[in-house]
A and B are shown apart, each in its own frame.
Chain A
Amino acid sequence: MHALWDGFTEALRLIVTADPDLREIAWRTIVVSGSATLLALLVGVPSGYGLARGRFRGRTLLLSAVNTGMGMPPVVIGLVVWLLLVRSGPFGGLDLIYTKRAMVIAQFIIAVPLVVGFTAAAVQALPAELPDLLDVLGASRARKLWLIAREAHLGILAAVMAGFGGVVSEVGASMTVGGNLQGNTRVLTTAIVTETSRGQNADAMALGIVLFAMAFAVNLLLTLVQQRRLG
């Protein structure tokens, strides 16, 4: 209880004094997780649409794989990405291991199944005739995808929230492929692990509260957009 209260007051102090270390870590967290979520959206929304509306062999298998991927432990994904990017690995020459880009790749892989799965469910919930109507009216492929995404905006915004929430809160993959290098690849979750291992529970708690506040702010913004569109 003591650590909780200390953590809360420390968090307030760090925020109010605009602690430079905290600002840097928080900004890096937003950049890494935001980039991964954005990339996951660019890939995941069209893929989710294709999976929802396509009729091809292996579709059910692919949907099952996506649903399984939604619950994949981040540390396992981190391990696979590490094996691919480590200097002796097949993509070692790219020199990406222990960089922010490696973290974005790992978080992208974590977020994609979430975005695909939520998008597919949202598109499947739309009237089956909607794509046919847009086809008959002569909508281009891009216009059709945009109009359908607009209709499925509740589910797609939920996909953004799930994707961002999934990657901003994970620690295993970021730690494995980023290395938690101070001033370089340290993000809020890995910083919490570091502070906890040092016995700095109040600092760790403060970072946790900042992480929670940041995730809440992003989700509040997305929820406001979602509900305004609904109204």
Chain B
Amino acid sequence: MDVRFDNLLFRRGRHTVLDVPSLRVESGRTTALVGPNGAGKSTMLRLVAALERPHAGTVHLGTRLARPDRATRNLVAYAFQQPVFVGGSVRENLDLALRLRRVPAAERQQRIAAAAEACGITNLLGRGAHRLSGGEAQRANLARALALRAPITLLDEPLSGLDAPARRNLLHDLPAALRAFATTTILVTHDRDEALRLAEDVVVLIDGRVRAAGPRARVFGDPPDAETAAFLGYTLIPDEGMVVAVAPRALRPGPGEVTFALEVEEVLDLGVRREAWGAISGVRVSVTLPPGAAGVPAMLTVSAPAHSVRRYPAVLQIGS
């Protein structure tokens, strides 16, 4: 089931939170809504779930206009950023969700078992939901959303608040779980690596406006403007009235298609590799040095392949 936003306007007081003339989230795919904090990402999810009403425009789930009614809610599963449970065990929480959706008793047990297994919480089903650790709570939160098997699954920062190992594990397990249970998934994240790993399509939202939308490779490979490129992890370097944007991890030591002079400030020896840290035209960057290189000159030539470099008019204040 696809999701369409048409002439959407959402305000809080005088502040325009969202202004989206047109956007379509494709059916059957995982779409990441990415953008900095306060860009309006979570508000978009809330509009899809009809937890907010737009001031103008419409949100359609398939052919149905999103309204705060049971028919709309039945189309949506929502894992909130902050996992929230009622008293009782994890199993009771999942069961309550399915009961509220009027799933027959026999099917509820089967769905709970399947979602719990996919999210790796089978051993936690009997535990009190308020006694889960952060990572366990996120998995239980996800399992509850997936058990609903709704046509549209909304995940708000599903990896937030996790420590590095828990985040890595869930990042590994999540794609398979989404493939198994979710149809159309909209995922909110401010982390581009999460978006790259989890989503097929990406929508970049900055200041409530869609800056880029489309398949992951196209959005990451060709950002429309410098600000979007900066958010996607590109390094922005001023160059004669323009801004040169270099894709993440594209800079290498030595000459190449697009060459820069790196003023080396520090060389970090990390045991398995060494990194040169410094600045290109005042912009802080680092590059990984080839193994065995002895001395590092104060001014190091670095380069990037032409296909990983974009040029934009210099409208952005570098370093802002």
Spell out A's residues near B (CB within 8 Å). Answer: 127, 129-130, 132-139, 143, 147, 150-151, 229
Chain B residues within 8 Å of A137, by CB: 73, 96-97, 100-101
Do B87 and A138 touch across chains, with their CB atoms under 8 A apart?
no
B13 to nearest A CB, angstroms?
A: 12
B51 contacts which of A135, A150, A151, A229 (Cβ < 8 Å)? A135
- Give A162 to B70 CA distance when docked, in angstroms: 38
- Give A129 to B157 CA distance when docked, in angstroms: 14
Within 63-91 of B, Cβ neighbours of A (below 8 Å) are at 68, 70, 73-74, 76-78, 80, 82, 84, 86-87
Number of B residues near A (Cβ < 8 Å) is 20
A151 contacts which of B49, B76, B87 (Cβ < 8 Å)? B87
- Give A143 to B70 CA distance when docked, in angstroms: 14
The chain A residue with its CB closest to the CB of B46 is A132
Do B86 and A150 touch across chains, with their CB atoms under 8 A apart?
yes
Do B100 and A135 touch across chains, with their CB atoms under 8 A apart?
no
B84 contacts which of A133, A138, A229 (Cβ < 8 Å)? A133
Do B80 and A139 touch across chains, with their CB atoms under 8 A apart?
no
Main secondary structure of the interface of A (DSSP, over half): helix
**Given A150-B87, A151-B87, A135 contacting B70 (CB threshold 8 A):** no
Closest 3 CB pairs of A and B: A137-B100, A127-B84, A129-B84
**Given A132-B51, A150-B87, A151-B87, A138 contacting B82 (CB threshold 8 A):** no
- Give A129 to B85 CA distance when docked, in angstroms: 10
Do A138 and B100 touch across chains, with their CB atoms under 8 A apart?
yes
The chain A residue with its CB closest to the CB of B150 is A136
B199 to nearest A CB, angstroms?
A: 22
Between-chain CB contacts (< 8 Å), 15 pairs: A130-B84, A132-B51, A132-B80, A133-B78, A135-B68, A135-B73, A136-B49, A136-B51, A137-B96, A137-B97, A137-B100, A137-B101, A138-B73, A138-B102, A151-B87
A138 contacts which of B46, B51, B70, B86 (Cβ < 8 Å)? B70
The chain A residue with its CB closest to the CB of B52 is A132
Chain A residues within 8 Å of B76, by CB: 136
- Give A127 to B101 CA distance when docked, in angstroms: 22
The chain B residue with its CB closest to the CB of A136 is B78
B100 contacts which of A143, A151, A229 (Cβ < 8 Å)? A143
Do B100 and A134 touch across chains, with their CB atoms under 8 A apart?
yes
B141 to nearest A CB, angstroms?
A: 10
The chain A residue with its CB closest to the CB of B78 is A136
Chain B residues within 8 Å of A135, by CB: 51, 68, 73
- Give A136 to B77 CA distance when docked, in angstroms: 7
User: Which residue among B49, B87, B100 has the maximum number of chain A CB atoms within 10 Å of its CB?
Assistant: B100
Within 36-77 of B, Cβ neighbours of A (below 8 Å) are at 46, 49, 51, 68, 70, 73-74, 76-77
Chain A residues within 8 Å of B100, by CB: 134, 137-139, 143
Given contacts A132-B51, A136-B76, A147-B96, 13 further A-B contacts (CB under 8 A): A127-B82, A129-B82, A130-B84, A132-B49, A133-B80, A133-B84, A134-B100, A135-B68, A135-B73, A137-B101, A138-B74, A150-B86, A151-B86
B320 to nearest A CB, angstroms?
A: 32
The chain B residue with its CB closest to the CB of A229 is B87
Chain A residues within 8 Å of B84, by CB: 127, 129-130, 133
- Give A134 to B70 CA distance when docked, in angstroms: 11
Chain A residues within 8 Å of B46, by CB: 132
The chain A residue with its CB closest to the CB of B156 is A129
- Give A151 to B129 CA distance when docked, in angstroms: 13
